[in-house]
Structure 1
Amino acid sequence: MVMESAEISGRVVVAEEFGGAELERIGAEGDENRRSKRTVKDADGLWPVLCPGRADLDDPWINPMADGAPSLTLGCRRVLVCVAEIDLLRDRGRLYYDKLKQSGWDGEAEFMETEGEDHVFFLFKPHSSKAEEF
């Protein structure tokens, strides 16, 4: 059986890795007292490996909210954006959610934040109550 086409009805964005230029640090990224074990340097250092040849941290592949990036409107009807409270990049996830809702996209977006947890906590503690709840 060959499928002619498929329709994606929803998208889940979990522990996103959106970047952004150093001059535009937001939220916890610029907070020296943050509780996250990750650093801005850790997060920024992944991009040359994940997206070789991209110009900088405001390339739309890395920062979909950057000036000049394509529209955030999506081809699906629903999106769930999931972040962890003490994740260094939590505020970028929230920014993505806010910008998506403001984009003119007519779908339904939800935002979920897991309290007291860091980036990809569900991978490091898969049997914890919060991971199971997630």
Structure 2
Amino acid sequence: MTTELLQPFKLNNSIALQNRILMAPLTRCMADDNLVPTQAMVDYYARRADAGLIISEATIIRPDAQGYPNTPGLFTSEQIQGWRKVTDAVHANGGKIFAQLWHVGRVAHPHFFDGEVLAPSAIGVEGSVP
């Protein structure tokens, strides 16, 4: 079984992985205050590029999607450029990376944005999010 785990794997017609190991998404909260990926994130993901596939940490898709501090975004050109550095480092080390897109919905924290919380229904959240 171990020999198969370490063998290359063709995911689809355009993506071949160097092995069958997958790194699950783990939110690290290492983006800067503008939600731009930092050099620490570049280094973090580059060190893990020997996994066949990395699924990035939760990456917010719009300003009102944030529920936690310093989670990376993917909705400004500066954030996209930051993620480009991450993906370039992963690719340079032979890895592949997919983005986990994220909107926290009703539990978005008003500390992080001005305006109404966007959610799929009018059902509120009981309790509070710290």
Shorter-chain TM-score bucket reads 0.3 to 0.5
TM-score (norm 2): 0.38
